[in-house]
Structure 1
């Protein structure tokens, strides 16, 4: 009986070369980022919502032919103040214009301003901040500039510049970006100073690596998650700036629709026709919240320490 049982077993030969081989899946940074991001169901929902809003904002105005100052239907009482229905999804205003067309045209303007302003401030801020953090020669000079400007409220600077240069799309972006990049640069400077004297950077510097090469090859890639976090905060912030300035009547021209201008325009209709006010407010909230949550989740996913 024991002999029969022994025959069922086979001695396995050992392979010294195979035993020393480390067989692990190949690590891919961006694949790990995507896997981490898409494991968050809330982020996926917000991403779908954000993409839907972006598509509607940039595609729908191409076919609607909406004009913010158009009053051709103001005397057609059958088109004025229609509540949301199958014909007019978001209803109509006092001019007989579709609020559905107005909201997406306004969202396109607000999102465009936010994206362009964020891109400009991030690029300038990251580059200047990285050089600022690695160069002790310009640190004191830049620090004094930052201390002076940071004591003045950013919103006050934007309002003054908007009044000075007049209304307009690019004038508003310039007013937003002229000092906003400095706070980004200071934030990056602090992060760079934390990691600039680590062993691998000191070794690279000892070997004669140029400073700019070390910044773009050794330091900035390490700060990807931090930069994405800053971007996720900047996008909703610039939308809020535009909304507030439009509510005050400065920034954009009177014939340019934006979510802020729509909210300001329909504030007086809150009691009689509340849909005119609350629908633009809801779209603004959806845009801001979805951008922030997607950005924060992407920032967490971009952190290599979360890749397990």
Structure 2
């Protein structure tokens, strides 16, 4: 069947129009712009469990850092009143009246277990984040250079072989015994050699991708080893770094709790110190809340930090952004 263009009110000039050739326009990419961190958070929040974990982590951090600011907490406020010591939640509410302060009972000095836990959580979480920040910064940067420079590798591999054979907990314990057990003493003890294991792990990862074509091309063009390590290698290892962070932060809380439990921790009311002081209440009928409440909170904090970090590390892998 033939159609007449006139019956549609169209002419040949309107059907076909000349298009100018433009080299700049032909080079444009019509694909949507890619944002790495936008894709990371899109993948991360795609899983509903991550939203719950992040919300729980936010509640824990708010309680640890904001709650103590609005509470006038005195650890020894009721120390002279024997009737306030080692109370269960029900007996504490009966003794003092219903209040959030007494929903976990009281401790050996008549103090609020609820208040003590969040004061202690602030110290333990702060210790973990400070240690992780120091160890990860030194370990990642030095590990990148270590893996890329063969001269540095010869020296550092011998140092690592010596230091790595000394148990990490033994190093921390010796440092605590030499200096007074305080917040910054523990920070120093956990970071003086703690970064070395991270640096060695990063060195191994760098060796895997060090001699790839784009790195060899950069080296042939005169790019310094430091710039290649910082610009070409570390961004490629973002997901691995996030995974390491996920394991490091909870581990420092565990170390602090363990050292305090064996009597070598801080004198401050950290989570470990609370568990140490409540050890005698673990097997005493009616006193178990005093021990198990800080244990439960310390466990929840470490698990939440680990799961959130692991899932963020998985989301940081570009292969999950498809």
What's the TM-score once normalised by structure 2's chain length? 0.87
Q: Are residues 1:75 and 2:80 paired?
A: yes
- RCO higher in 1 or 2 (8 Å CA, sep ≥ 6)? 1
CA contact (8 A) 2:108 2:278 kept: no
Q: 2:59 aligns with which of 26, 32, 52?
A: 52
For structure 1, the 5+ residue unaligned runs are none
Cα distance between partner residues in 2 of 1:257 and 1:15: 80
Give the aligned length.
301
Q: How does 1:100-111 map to 2 (within 5 A)?
A: 100-111=114-125
1:150-198: CA deviations, max 9, x gaps?
1111111111111112211101111111111000000000111111111
The equivalent residue for 1:113 is: 127
The equivalent residue for 2:231 is: 217
Q: How does 1:88-167 map to 2 (within 5 A)?
A: 88-167=102-181
RMSD: 2.4
CA contact (8 A) 1:105 1:257 kept: yes
Instruction: Please identify the structure whose Cα radius of gyration is greater.
Output: 2
Q: How does 1:1-308 map to 2 (within 5 A)?
A: 23-68=30-75, 70=76, 72-84=77-89, 85=93, 86-87=98-99, 88-252=102-266, 254=267, 256-270=268-282, 271-272=284-285, 273-308=287-322
CA contact (8 A) 1:110 1:259 kept: yes
**Offset, 1:3:** 8.9
For structure 2, the 5+ residue unaligned runs are none
CA contact (8 A) 1:169 1:251 kept: no
**Offset, 1:216:** 1.3
SS in 1 for 2:211: coil
Tell me: CA distance 1:15–1:56, structure 2 relative to 1, closer, same or farther (3 Å): farther
**Offset, 1:212:** 1.6
Structure 1 segments of 4+ aligned residues over 6 angstroms from their partners: 12-21
**Offset, 1:74:** 2.2
Cα distance between partner residues in 1 of 2:36 and 2:29: 20
